[in-house]
Each structure stands twice: as structure tokens, then as C-alpha cells.
Amino acid sequence: MEPAGFLSAHPFHENVMAADLYKPSPPVVASPKAEQPKASEPVRIISDPVSGRTYSKGRLLGKGGFARCYEVTDLSSNKTYAVKVIPHSRVAKPHQREKIINEIELHRELHHKHIVKFSHHFEDSENIYIFLEHCSRKSLAHIWKSRHTLLEPEVRYYLRQIISALKYLHLKGILHRDLKLGNFFVNENMELKVGDFGLAARQEPADQRKKTICGTPNYLAPEVLLRQGHGPESDVWSLGCVMYTLLCGNPPFETSDLKETYRCIKHVTYTLPAFLSVPAKNLLMGILKRNPQERFTLEEILDHDFFTKGYTPDKLPPSSCVMVPELNPPNPAKSLFVKVTKTLFGKRKSKVKKAPSEERDDISKLVTGLVKTSICRQISHKTVEGNEATPVSGQSPSSSPADTVAEEGSQKSISRSIRGTMASSCEVFEDCVTAAGVIESAIGLLKNCLSVMPPAERNPASLACHEHFVWVSKWVDYSNKYGFGYQLSDRSIGVLFNDGTHMTLSANWKKVRYNLTNSKHFSFLASAVPEQLQGQMSVLQYFASYMEQHLMKGGDLPSIDETGQVPLLLLQWVKTNQALLMLFSNGTLQVNFYNDHTKVIFSKPDHSCLLTYINRDRNSYTYKLSSIAEFGCSAELQRRLKYILRLLQQRTDA
């Protein structure tokens, strides 16, 4: 976690995966300070005593060591600003006030597309007010809090803008000295703005530099800790730490102990995750050099393969603040990879003649090789972490079978091939369950419940004991390339691929079930997966490892052992801007709501429908649906049930 620095204009992160492991450290200052008195709350209406203009103070945007930042509206023009409010009591000493004056004088001279615009300032008897450009999408810290990791194209998009601002600052002889996620703000148009110049200073010759240690611990350069002073190279170091954090999910030198963090920084001790691309690793190694003179310059960073050979989008969608965007790089070099990937994970029905068997064999081998060398390396930094992975935008793989199911002839070919080459080690099963049947049953149950239930202020008593059921405890959406992966509460893993096929790995990782369609599947040992399925098996295994290592269980329901039972088949998943719906072959229906991470699960373990509600605190409560129909439920749960009913009805109308 990154702590708030001097005058930091963003709140501490409050609810990130593994929040208990990453506690914010205090900001680093030049010397210990006595405890400051609490800041007085500014009045709701702010008046400029000189101009007479009045402003309405709105919500708190963030707070730091000396200031609070509020959303403030000019009552005459209705223009909105982000305003730093600094109580005089916090800057009573001459050197403290000098810092504020320095920040104002330095910032007001800056005029650049990617730097937060300084508007004006004034003070009254209580506070100093600094009016700044308001960035409605908050900061990269907020995006990181929601996403935890970003795709490489997204990181390039943001870094290019940061570097543009840094080149401008360094050309003017100004060092920022506190580059971190919370000081990169994002406006309505998804443009990045560098802000918070509370620690900024004018560049001095090396022999005249101040030796003050200031900034944020996780982003401090070795030379700063060694009291050699800040230079442009120190900002470059911090930029490298920002890049690492966005790609990997945590700062490179972060530990639970501040002294250990400083030791790691001084000795440049950090690890590069295996999932990073080679250009990303090389660029980070070129930036995070102990000797400032050996570090890449800003120009060298932009000329590196990470930027020159990687796709950078012209603009990111606002949805990327909370979920993985679907990016379509216009890169002809990837056409072969796309072609062979579609052969294995086909998205649309082919209208050309079937290739000769020899050609299909060559493509199969090529796909297998590409999967083993490329796919798994790409997945981990293109999915998101948290208690669940956030959904990407794009078509649900099962929402339109005509568009998502591969050519029937190709599936028959795979079926014949598996039967022919693996007859001695696999079992073939026939079964038939449909999503339409699950939806129709759920609609009937919900309609009946909502139509007869009486008004109620609270939910009925939760069942103290009931038969446990299987539910989705973790999930990862990577459907913009391969498919949707999930972990069940019995610890088995499944992936519904974009071509409509489905693969399940048992909890002990020893048995695999592969479904060509809803009515036909093969079962074999994990050690005897047919060659034709090695590509999908590689993706499945990577999803399994990723969810096990990085994602947190989505509720307090107990894990259960279903070893030996027939694996559940994910029939369909549907996402809206509010929730994710998952339908399973045993009639289980689960809906996860994004904003508050609440979940509603319908299950029929004993043929009498149970409803389980997991609230925002991850506590679970299970009721008989008949009890809710008889006694009613809270408004909170009723809203969710009505939403689920509308969603299911829309599926039947589609």
C-alpha cells in the first residue's frame, strides 16, 4: 500500500484484497514532528475576503499530513474545483508556511496538458485555500484499488502521459519528488494529470542538493535514502516503482517492516514475476538501477521495446477504472496467433471448407506450442485480483450460441480423435441439461415468491443447519481471449471456453472432464490429457494456479469435499453493468453484485429451494425460499431478488 505523502489529495486505501497484509506506512519527513492539533472543519460556505466570491464546500476527496482536499463549487459560475484546505494551525511555524508558499508559487507557473491545473488561491482567518483542476475519476490509486493489476497496454497509456509531464517539469528544472499512484489524477476524459506539488523543488547542482529524505517510503530512490539528494533520476526511479505496482499489484520493495523496505531499496532487492513480458522485465531492470547515472532516461524509456513494440491505446474506456477493458490492437503481426487461437477457441462459425487433416494437425501442434510458450505468460497480468476478478467488457461466451460455438464438424473431428487416440484411458458420457431449463425453473420460483411475500423489515431466521452445496468462491473473466474460469467451494476448477467447450479439473488436480457440448463429455486422468486438448489444459491449469495464489474466497460459507461426485457444468454466464449471473447443470443459480460484493445463490440440495445471501461483510445466511415467501425479507434482499428476476426474464426474451 502506498501511504499519503505531504498534502496528499487522496484517501488511504480501505478495502483491497490482502488489506491486512499491506498496511500503509507513515509518510517520510525530514525530522520527527510533534503531534499537530486536529484540523478544524471548514465551514460549508467559503468566501474569498478580497474578491467576495463565494463557494460551496462538497464532499471530502482526500487528506494528507497538512491538508484536506474537498470538492468545491463556485456559486456564481457553478464551476467545480478540487480545493486543498490548509488550517493556519497546521502551518504556524515559518518553515511550514514557507512550504505552502513554495508549492503555490511553483505550481502556478505550470501549464501542461498532463499536469493538474492551478487556478487560484486565497486565505481567510482560519485556512489557506488552493483551487485546483477537479479530476472526476479520482486517481490511479483508486483505479489500482479496484483493479489491483492493469494490462500492459493500459500501463503504457498512463506512463506515456506521466513521462510527458515529467519531461516538461525537468525541462523547467523542477523535481516532483513524490511520484506515486495517489498523485496521478484522471479526469472525465480518462486523461492523466500529475498533481500534488507539496514536495516539489527546483533542481540544484549535485554538490548543492539538499539531503532531506522526503517522499513516500515504497517509492524512494536509493540515493535519497543514502542522503545524496534528489535529482531527475530519482523521479525516474519512482516512475519505475509505479510501473511495477500497476503491472504486479504491489510496490517492488514493499515489506511489512519499514527498515526492511529501506534495506531492499538500498540493495535493489526485488523480484520480477514470471508472468511479466520480457520487454516489461527489461525496462524495469533498466529503470531500477542503484546507480542513478546508469538508469534509463525518460527518452530511453520511451524508445524501449516495451513502448515501441507494444500496443498503446489512444484512449481507455471509463469502465477500465473498475474492470478489465477489451482492447483491440491493430497489430498485423498478431494475425497468425489470432488465427490459430480461433482455431482452438473459435468464436464464429466458419463458412470455408474444412482443412485437410494434415493441415489441422499442423495447426493443432502450432496452437499447443503457442499456448505453452505464450498464453499462460499473458493471462496473469490481464486478469484482475480481489476477492473476485472483475469482469471484462465483451460478449458473454454463451449468450449467442450461433456466434460462439465452433464449427460442428471441427468438434466432431476432435471427438473422433479423442475416441481414437485415447480410448484406453478415457470414459465417454452422455448427459443433457440446458440453461433454458434452469432459467425457466428459477423464474417460476422467484415469481411465485415475490408475488405472495408480505412486507417485512428484516429477513427470516437463517437456517442453523442445512445440507451444504457447491458455489462459486472465486472467478476470473478472460473472455476477451480465452474464456471464463472459476473455482468452486469444493476446490474444483472449471473453464468455459469461448467456443462453448468446457473443461473441469478435480480438487485434487488428478481428473479432468472435457465437455464438447452440454450433452457429451469425456473424462480422463490429468496425466493422460489428449494432445489435442493440451492447449486448453494449459489455460485451465494456469487459471487454477492463479486463483489459488491470488484470489480471496468470496464469502464465509464452508468449503466442502465433493470428491468422486459428478463435476458441475457451468451452462451459461451473463454479465450486466451491475452483476454477474452464473447457471449450473445441477440447477444452482448464483448472482454476484459488483459494487458491494454481495451474492445471492439459489440451490436445491434436497429438492426444496434454498436461498443463500452473502452480505458485503462476507457473512452468509441461508433461508428456505418458502420461508421468504411466507414471512417476507428485507428491502435490501428484495431489491436483489427483483433485479435477478428481471435479468432472467430478459434472457428468455433474448
Annotated binding-site residues for ATP read 93
Q: Nine-digit cell at 80? A: 467545480
Distance from C-alpha of 106 to C-alpha of 93, rounded to nearest angstrom? 20
Burial of 19 (0-12, 13-18, 19+ CB in 10 A): middle
Largest CA distance in the chain: 90
The answer to whether 448 and 617 have CB atoms below 8 angstroms apart is no
Distances (CA, A) of 68 to 108, 412, 424: 19, 65, 70
Distance from C-alpha of 372 to C-alpha of 390, rounded to nearest angstrom? 25
Grid cell 457473512 is found at: 619
Q: Is 178 known to be catalytic?
A: yes
Strand partners, 583: 572, 589
Distances (CA, A) of 146 to 160, 538, 561, 592: 22, 28, 32, 16
Q: Which of the residues 20, 48, 124, 178 is marked catalytic?
A: 178
The answer to whether 485 and 536 have CB atoms below 8 angstroms apart is no
> Smallest Cα–Cα separation from 627: which of 637, 619, 617, 639?
637
Q: Nine-digit cell at 486? A: 472459476
3-state secondary structure of 215: strand
3-state secondary structure of 439: helix
Alpha-carbon Rg of the chain, whole angstroms? 28
Beta strands in 75-215 (DSSP E): 80-87, 118-123, 127-133, 174-175, 184-186, 192-194, 201-202
Distance from C-alpha of 64 to C-alpha of 210, rounded to nearest angstrom? 23
Q: Nine-digit cell at 528? A: 493422460
Grid cell 495517489 is found at: 182
Please report the DSSP string for 321-340 in residue order: GTS--------GGGHHHHHH
Sort residue 59 into left (φ over 0), alpha (ψ -120 to 50) or beta. Answer: beta
> Smallest Cα–Cα separation from 16: which of 3, 27, 35, 1?
1
Those residues whose C-beta lies under 8 Å from the C-beta of residue 233, and which sit 6 or more positions away, are 221, 223, 292, 293, 295
Those residues whose C-beta lies under 8 Å from the C-beta of residue 66, and which sit 6 or more positions away, are 6, 7, 86, 90, 91, 96, 100, 198
> Smallest Cα–Cα separation from 294: which of 285, 304, 307?
285
Annotated binding residues: 93
Burial of 4 (0-12, 13-18, 19+ CB in 10 A): buried
Residues known to be catalytic: 178
